[in-house]
Amino acid sequence: MIMTNPSERLEQLLAKAVKQCQTRSIKDPKIQGRIDYVCRCLGNRAGVRLLMSCMLAKLDRPEIDPRKPYTEIGGVDCFSGGAISY
């Protein structure tokens, strides 16, 4: 599925999350704790913005690897952390 509008995709994901808010999709408590820490850190919101952009990019294009250093490697499976290009 190729996403044409990231805002629409986020709205779909929000609706799905609201329906499933009582069920955890992340089973490992250690990973959940790390995600909670990043999402609740009021001193630096950049971490949660990075996490959200990587998650949205991965949902849109599962073949990408947000861990790759985009500017050094490049390629179709890399994500810059910015705009998603098609």
pLDDT at 7: 82
Q: Which domain holds residue 58?
A: 26-81
Tens-place pLDDT, residues 48-69: 888 888 888 777 778 877 777 6
21 within some domain: no
61 within some domain: yes
pLDDT at 15: 87
In the predicted structure, residue 86 carries a pLDDT above the cut 60: no
10 within some domain: no
7 within some domain: no
**Structure tokens that stand for 37 in this block:** 């820490």
* Domains: count for the chain: 1
Phi, psi (rounded to 5 degrees) for 3: -80, 130
pLDDT at 76: 67
19 within some domain: no
12 within some domain: no
Tens-place pLDDT, residues 1-27: 455 677 887 888 888 888 877 787 788
16 within some domain: no
* pLDDT (mean) for 39-46: 87
